[in-house]
Amino acid sequence: MIYNSTFVNDSDSVTSQLNTETDEVSTNSVITESTTVLYQPWLYGTISKEQYNLNSFVLFEIIIPIICIVGLVGNLASVALLYGKPYVSSFYFFLRALTVSDAVVLFIGLLRSIIKIIEDVDPWLGRQLDIFSSYFLNAFLGPLFSKIASSIIAIMSIERFMAILRPLKAKEMVFVKYPARILAITIIIQLLFHAPTLVWLQVVKNADLNNSTYIYRLEYASWANVDVRRYFTYFVTFFNLILPVVIVIVMNSGIVILFLLAKRRRLDMTTVLSTKDNEQRTLTVTLIIIGLFYVLSLVPAAFVFIMSATNSDFKIWWKEHYLLGLIVDITILCITINSASDFLIYNLSSKRFRQLFIRRFVRPSCCTSDGLTISPRKQIYSINP
């Protein structure tokens, strides 16, 4: 798994329990005259254990590593291009931070897939590596950068909406004047939200019966209060998952409404988008596409929340145990695709970005700097944002 605290709650983590099938599973005892029969509800669900393991293998050892590698290369190229001269506004500052955060998420996902492959070759070694990686990568570093990226998208949505709503006062907004401070505050808040996980969780070393080998297990500390962890998780889930999604949907909807109102009143877009209308339009389209990818990537997570709350069989170690695990894995796949889509989105929404990419990485002789395109036949010069 890439990380397991993105959309599941604390001690009820789906992915960690799926990876650690201990003897402490939930069973119902059916008493008869002669014997006690243990009823194992997860054996009669829609998805069997064998089907889940096959899908997990395809996702985490074939599909996700490929997406992570391609996305990581694209994000690194995007960061290199976004540090160019044309990209100096606050929006591009947050865009660079978003791309870096997504690159870290992809790198962590690649490491987790490598550990899964090692686990197939050497189960004991892979399991020990999985425990230590779950402690730092799954429980802390992955969720940290994922939530930083979510917060940045929400900040960018607010910045764009206010810039379109009040174009003449856009330069006075705190997001525009102090982007570095806003980003620093965001990182500090997310560190405070995720640091308790490192304190609550601990890696326990256990010896086997002969004391010949040692195994490691990831457990919550005995002093960590269950109720405190539960309510803290509820608060963090609201702040990091629900609130950013609501902000992105509301702000992007507001942007679309402003565009429709401007079109209905037959106003030129420069009236709404202030000066540098082409560049502002490009930034707005880029943000809308980013927000759309972000919201769509969380649809499976919303399904997990709804089904877990309404269906008694849709819980850990009950009838739809492995179906629940499969949907969680699909959610991780969607989040991985979202993190890897930055380079594609920038190319689709910005002609300037495409030109800079061609000039630096494909055909350095066909273009000049700052998006200036040279037609090799007619020698016609044009600037395309």
Would you list the DSSP string of 22-75? -S----EEEE-SS-EEEE-GGGGSSS-HHHHHHHHHHIIIIIHHHHHHHHHHHH
Q: What is the pLDDT of residue 85?
A: 66
| 14 DSSP β-pair partners | none
Q: What is the pLDDT of residue 270?
A: 44
The residue ranges of DSSP E strands in the chain, in sequence order, are: 28-31, 36-39, 201-207, 214-220, 372-374, 381-383
CA 71, 73, 76, 81 dihedral sign is: negative
Nearest of 301, 304, 320 to residue 312 by alpha carbon: 320
Q: How far, rounded to the nearest angstrom, does the alpha carbon of residue 14 sit from its chain's CA centroid?
A: 17
| All residues at 6 or more sequence positions from 350 whose CB lies less than 8 Å from its CB, including other chains | 282, 286, 385
Mean pLDDT to the nearest integer, 134-150: 88
Q: What is the pLDDT of residue 207?
A: 55
Q: How far, rounded to the nearest angstrom, does the alpha carbon of residue 239 sit from its chain's CA centroid?
A: 15
pLDDT band at 364 (very low <50, low <70, confident <90, very high): low
Higher pLDDT, 338 or 176: 338
CATH architecture for segment(s) 10-349: Up-down Bundle (1.20)
pLDDT averaged over every residue in the chain: 77
Phi, psi torsion values for 29, nearest 5 degrees:
-95, 125
Higher pLDDT, 172 or 340: 340
28 in the Ramachandran plot: left (φ > 0), alpha (ψ -120 to 50) or beta? beta
Q: What is the pLDDT of residues 291-330, one digit of tens each?
A: 999 999 988 888 888 888 787 777 777 878 888 888 889 9
Higher pLDDT, 87 or 191: 191
Does residue 134 register a pLDDT over 60? yes
Q: CA 73 to CA 77: how far, in whole Å?
A: 6
Write out the two tokens for 257: 């409404």
Structural contact between residues 102 and 340, judged by C-beta atoms closer than 8 angstroms: yes
Phi, psi torsion values for 21, nearest 5 degrees:
-90, 90
**Which amino acid is located at 377 in the chain?**
R
Mean pLDDT to the nearest integer, 43-58: 85
**Helix runs in 122-178, H state only:** 123-133, 142-165, 174-177
Write out the two tokens for 309: 């709350």
Q: CA 147 to CA 238: how far, in whole Å?
A: 12
| All residues at 6 or more sequence positions from 227 whose CB lies less than 8 Å from its CB, including other chains | none
**Which amino acid is located at 90 in the chain?**
S
Mean pLDDT to the nearest integer, 32-46: 59
Reported residue count of the chain is 385
Q: What is the pLDDT of residues 52-61, one digit of tens each?
A: 889 999 999 9
Structural contact between residues 125 and 233, judged by C-beta atoms closer than 8 angstroms: no
Q: What is the pLDDT of residue 281?
A: 79
The separation between the first and the last C-alpha atoms of the chain, rounded to the nearest angstrom, is: 40
Mean pLDDT to the nearest integer, 256-264: 78
SS3 assignment, position 367: strand
* pTM of the full structure: 0.79
Write out the two tokens for 262: 């401007």
DSSP 384: -
